[in-house]
Amino acid sequence: MRFTITRQNLHNGLAAVSASIPSKTTLPVLSNILFETDEDAVWMSGTDLDVSVRVRVPAEIAEEGSLTAPGKKLQEITRELPDEPVDVTTRGDQIELACGRSRFKLNGLPAEEFPSLPEVDFDQGVQIDGADFQRLIHHTSFAVSSEESRPILNGVLWELREGSMRMVATNGHRLARMGLETGPGAVTPTDFIVPPAALNQVQRLFKDGDPITVAWDHGNEGSKKNHLAFRSESTEVYTRLIEGTYPNYEQVIPKDNDRFATVDKKSLESAVRRMAVVASDQTHRIRMTFEADRVHLNVLTPDLGEGADELELSFEGETLEIGFNATYLLEVLRYMPTEDVRLTFKAPERAATLEPVVADGDDEIDYLALVMPLRLLD
């Protein structure tokens, strides 16, 4: 294999792929990047066996071939090279780089040892709007669980329907759900539970305006989908899906809340953040008392001290005293897509919902977040 590539293109390709390489692995080839020549480009691939990234980078190909080489070292070398063309050559299982007066040789491994990428048929895939997909990821994936006790909640539920799509994430204490219309297109209703690591790669590598083709392994009739893949013009991301059935999240979303508060998001965020400073490191509990035109915020942490604040807002319903984990409440507020937010309640021990309040003339936003309350001790 022999090709010439600009230092910037080599650097960009390595940076894109290197994030998918595991920091520690018992399989040496997973520390490597796979290089494969194309007509006027080089494909670079990296994987941790769960998520794989493949990018196409322009290059002048003198001799076709393929090889894997140490990803992190190549990235470090390329970062320090002068801004001149880089000649890349392979001899046996070694890769050689020449740039200006710099010369490097690194030991690689045969391309045959690199794990095969999942087989999906992009020709049978579905095209979605990249900006819409990025928006769904941004506003929901923060709520995914990091606890290993319920692996199904370690993924984001993506519901693909004809004319719409929706994402949901929860850790059992807070939940985020967003839906978007996708326009016409024949889609068989399909659900995926996607690891957030894969969605992070999509966010990182795909530009907002890029149309994205989504494909999955349909398997034999009746068999489950195991892999999902995303493709733009020069980038591909493959992921293993989380197996199982996602909980019926609609059951936990209250439909009969009868107390309503409307408040400026930034003002509430600031007040909660101030109270969080003196909240317990274990529970992060804050007390909120909603009444006709204001909310009182209180924190009492016996071994630290106390804090109090209040905020003007609009409130309908009987006075309510309720406790929340400040960290979860701040997370939900941070990803709320509007300046004003509407909170709904039923009782101190029942889930509260938060929804965006859109300005007059703006389109409605199909977004809902839920936060479970904390029991107040007195």
Domain membership of residue 376 (yes or no) is no
- Asked whether residue 378 is assigned to any structural domain, the reply reads no
In a domain, 362, yes or no: yes
What confidence score (pLDDT) does residue 378 get? 61
Sequential pLDDT tens for the chain (378 residues): 999 999 999 999 999 999 899 988 889 999 999 999 999 999 999 999 999 999 999 999 999 999 999 999 999 999 999 999 999 999 999 999 999 999 999 999 999 999 999 999 998 889 999 999 999 999 999 999 999 889 999 999 999 998 899 999 999 999 999 999 987 766 788 999 999 999 999 999 998 778 999 999 865 544 557 999 999 999 999 999 999 999 999 999 999 999 999 999 999 999 999 999 999 888 999 999 999 999 999 999 888 999 999 999 999 999 999 999 999 999 999 999 999 999 999 999 999 999 999 988 888 999 999 999 999 876
Which pLDDT score, from 0 to 100, does residue 212 have? 94
What is the reported pLDDT for 208? 76
* Same structural domain, 148 and 241: yes
SS3 150: coil
State how far the Cα of 233 lies from the Cα of 250, in Å rounded to an integer. 37
Whether residues 286 and 298 fall in one domain: yes
- Domain identity same for 98 and 204: no
Tokens in use for 70? 């140490």
Amino acid 207: pLDDT: 84
**Residue 217: strand, helix, or coil:** coil
* The pLDDT value given to residue 227: 95
Instruction: Kindly report the CATH number assigned to the domain that includes residue 228.
Output: 3.10.150.10
Residue 221: per-residue pLDDT: 47
Same domain for 91 and 8, yes or no, is yes
Query: 217 in a domain, yes or no?
Result: yes
Last residue in a domain, options 250, 279, 310: 250
pLDDT tens per residue, range 136-181:
999 999 999 999 889 999 999 999 998 899 999 999 999 999 999 9
| Number of separate domains in the chain | 3
Same domain, 244 and 126: yes
**The domain boundary residue, chosen from 250, 282, 315:** 250
Report yes or no on 377 lying in a domain: no
- The predicted-structure confidence for 228-267, as pLDDT tens digits, reads as follows 999 999 999 999 999 999 999 999 999 999 999 999 999 9
Q: Answer for the pair 179, 163: CB distance below 8 angstroms, yes or no.
A: no
What was the pLDDT predicted at 189?
A: 84
One domain, residues 246 and 270: no
**pLDDT in the model for residue 80:** 95
Task: Let me know if residue 308 belongs to a domain.
Answer: yes
For position 149, what pLDDT does the model report?
Answer: 87
351 and 260, same domain (yes or no): yes
Domain boundary among 213, 232, 250: 250
Domain encompassing residue 109: 2-113
Determine how β-strand 32-37 pairs with β-strand 41-47.
Answer: antiparallel
Q: Does 323 map to a domain?
A: yes
- Any domain includes 244: yes
Residues 245 and 258 in one domain: no
According to the model, what pLDDT value does residue 372 have? 96
Q: Are residues 327 and 228 in the same domain?
A: no
Using alpha carbons, list the distances in angstroms from residue 312 to 144, 185, 289, 315, 335: 32, 46, 12, 9, 22
One domain for residues 232 and 274: no
Question: Are 147 and 261 in the same domain?
Answer: no
Same domain, 21 and 43: yes
